[in-house]
């Protein structure tokens, strides 16, 4: 139904431009979530409420383990709608300390034959303070809201720590967890923050602020998660995991988009050469392998949010089998539609029954 009817309409909303279609869809969702009857109808169609789906991970309780990945709703404009679509949590952002326009358009490209996207958005966002303001003005969300923070483009790498800490301070009161994005390929130099020395300094500073704010707000420190790139080598990943363990990181989000172009054989060559991060079907296997690697390397003790190329209930089950405690969707939602979280949750329940 979605692929035959709704997807062609949504894809055409932007007159052929993927980002305009995305913006209009977000706008529609935002409008929809303002109408109580529409919101309730959507919720009835898409949400599965079942205690067996709920889980507590890094101290946060999730009604189900299927989340919306960062970047889909950077400024949280359609926030209430995501819970009505059956997601068990939402990660807003990535936001930066300073508002910024991102890279020039076009910067988002669809490769439908490969169920993939290439993007070089470059953290277009209204800034951390604007997101904090929006979150403060909303009713508390019915599902946990994680906040992803990154570095402002104009901030030089040597001042990155101040930039992250400034965003962290304003968003602290509104986040169930904070994702530290050091893996987007679209901000020059950002991925260098995954290197052990940079990451050590960044995490140490963020945890200092975390302890201080936890006391001020009488809620204790927030879970800090690190989002990693799928392009890391094993030695680099091992070092990163050691640094994360040394700094009480609560979990790893694996993975961000890839700069590799594997899995695009036969795709339009003009699109394949577009600069940016690749997501979707070509990332499925790599993301799962990375999750499995992290799970083994940490003896299953560090919670992992598995993300990358989850387009079906089967992909989701395999991601859990690889060691993910929670999963997130982005490109799969674009190609397979809003019932994907429901289908995955349904499969999780059937799988449990089969296993019992
Ligand atoms: C258009 C677009 C924008 C994205 N923006 C962000 C972002 O701001 N922060 C982030 O951590 N990840 C961002 N991502 C990466 C996704 O959160 C996700 O990690 C990645 O796309 C792999 O999952 P998928 O294959 O399900 O899309 C973005 C992805 C896309 C396609």
> pLDDT (tens digit, 9 = 90+) per residue, 69-80?
999 999 999 998
Pocket test for ligand 1, best of 178, 316, 330, 331 (most atoms within 8 A of CB): 330
Contacts 24+ apart (CB under 8 A), 198-202: 198/157, 198/160, 199/226, 199/240, 199/243, 199/244, 200/243, 200/246, 200/247, 201/161, 202/160, 202/161, 202/164
pLDDT above 90 (res 110): yes
Name, in order, each residue with C-beta under 8 angstroms of 111's C-beta and a sequence gap of 6 or more: 117, 118, 264, 267, 268, 271, 272, 280
Number of the ligand 1 atom closest to the C-alpha atom of 117: 31
70 and 148 in contact (C-beta within 8 Å)? yes
- Indicate which residue of 184, 218, 312, 350 is catalytic: 184
Q: What is the mean pLDDT of residues 81-100?
A: 95
- Per the DSSP assignment, residues forming a β-bridge with 60 are 57
280 annotated as a binding-site residue = yes
pLDDT above 80 (res 92): yes
* Whole-number pLDDT of residue 184: 87
Report CA 345 to chain centroid distance, whole Å. 18
pLDDT above 90 (res 172): yes
285 and 322 in contact (C-beta within 8 Å)? no
Name, in order, each residue with C-beta under 8 angstroms of 44's C-beta and a sequence gap of 6 or more: none
- Per the DSSP assignment, residues forming a β-bridge with 228 are 254
pLDDT above 90 (res 277): yes
In the chain, which ranges are E strands? Answer: 55-57, 60-62, 66-68, 89-95, 108-111, 116-119, 145-149, 177-181, 224-228, 251-254, 277-280, 304-307, 326-329
Tell the burial category of 208 from Cβ atoms under 10 Å away from its Cβ (0-12, 13-18, 19+). exposed
59 annotated as a binding-site residue = no
Number of the ligand 1 atom closest to the C-alpha atom of 123: 8
Torsion angle (degrees, nearest 10) of CA 78, 23, 345, 347:
170
CA end-to-end span of the chain, whole Å? 32
* H/E stretch holding 46: helix 36-46
Active-site residue flag, 184: yes
Expressed in angstroms and rounded, the spacing between residue 221 Cα and the centre of ligand 1 is 26
> pLDDT (tens digit, 9 = 90+) per residue, 33-82?
888 898 888 888 888 999 999 999 999 999 999 999 999 999 999 998 99
Question: Quick check: CB of 187 below 6 Å from ligand 1?
Answer: no
Burial 162-186 (b: 16+ CB within 10 A, else e): ebbbbbbebbbebbbbbbbbbbbbb
Pocket test for ligand 1, best of 71, 76, 185, 332 (most atoms within 8 A of CB): 71
Torsion angle (degrees, nearest 10) of CA 271, 307, 195, 121:
40
- What is the rounded distance in angstroms from the CA atom of residue 96 to the CA atom of residue 104? 17
Residue owning the nearest CA to atom 6 of ligand 1: 71
Q: What is the mean pLDDT of residues 26-37?
A: 88
* Whole-number pLDDT of residue 141: 84
Number of the ligand 1 atom closest to the C-alpha atom of 332: 26
11 and 21 in contact (C-beta within 8 Å)? yes
- What is the rounded distance in angstroms from the CA atom of residue 52 to the CA atom of residue 225? 25
In the chain, where are the structural domains located?
A: 2-355
Residue owning the nearest CA to atom 12 of ligand 1: 70
pLDDT above 70 (res 213): yes
Pocket test for ligand 1, best of 257, 274, 280 (most atoms within 8 A of CB): 257
Name, in order, each residue with C-beta under 8 angstroms of 69's C-beta and a sequence gap of 6 or more: 91, 307, 328, 329, 330
* Whole-number pLDDT of residue 21: 87
- What is the rounded distance in angstroms from the CA atom of residue 269 to the CA atom of residue 73? 29
Tell the burial category of 56 from Cβ atoms under 10 Å away from its Cβ (0-12, 13-18, 19+). exposed
Report CA 224 to chain centroid distance, whole Å. 14
- Per the DSSP assignment, residues forming a β-bridge with 178 are 147, 224
- CATH for 2-355? 3.20.20.70
* Whole-number pLDDT of residue 193: 86
């Amino acid at each position: 139904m979605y692929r035959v009817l709704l997807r062609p309409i949504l894809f055409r909303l932007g007159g052929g431009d993927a980002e305009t279609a995305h913006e209009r869809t977000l706008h529609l969702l935002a409008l929809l979530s303002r109408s109580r009857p529409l919101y309730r109808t959507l919720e009835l169609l898409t949400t599965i409420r079942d205690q067996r789906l709920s889980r507590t991970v890094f101290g946060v309780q999730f009604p189900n383990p299927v989340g919306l990945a960062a970047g889909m709703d950077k400024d949280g404009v359609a926030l209430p709608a995501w819970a009505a679509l059956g997601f068990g949590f939402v990660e807003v952002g990535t936001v930066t300390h300073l508002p910024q326009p991102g890279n020039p358009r076009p910067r988002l490209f669809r490769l439908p034959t490969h169920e993939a996207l290439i993007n070089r958005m470059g953290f277009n966002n209204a800034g951390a303070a604007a997101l904090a303001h929006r979150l403060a003005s909303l009713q508390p969300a019915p599902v946990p809201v994680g906040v992803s923070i990154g570095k402002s483009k104009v901030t030089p790498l040597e001042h990155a720590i101040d930039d992250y800490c400034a965003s962290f301070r304003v968003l602290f009161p509104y986040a169930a967890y904070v994702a530290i994005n050091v893996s987007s390929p679209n901000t020059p130099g950002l991925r260098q923050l995954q290197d052990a020395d940079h990451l050590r300094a960044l995490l140490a500073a963020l945890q200092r602020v975390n302890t201080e704010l936890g006391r001020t707000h009488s809620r204790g420190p927030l879970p800090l998660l690190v989002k990693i790139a799928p392009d890391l080598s094993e030695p680099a990943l091992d070092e990163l995991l050691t640094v994360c363990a040394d700094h009480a990181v609560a979990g790893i989000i694996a993975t961000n988009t890839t700069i590799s172009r594997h899995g695009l054989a036969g795709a339009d060559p003009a699109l394949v050469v577009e600069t940016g991060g690749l997501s979707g079907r070509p990332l499925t296997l790599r993301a799962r392998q990375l999750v499995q690697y992290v799970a083994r390397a940490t003896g299953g003790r560090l919670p992992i949010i598995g993300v990358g190329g989850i387009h079906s209930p089967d992909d989701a089950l395999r991601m859990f089998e690889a060691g993910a405690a929670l999963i997130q969707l982005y490109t799969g939602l674009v190609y397979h539609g809003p019932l994907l979280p429901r289908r995955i949750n349904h499969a999780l329940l059937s799988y449990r029954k089969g296993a019992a």
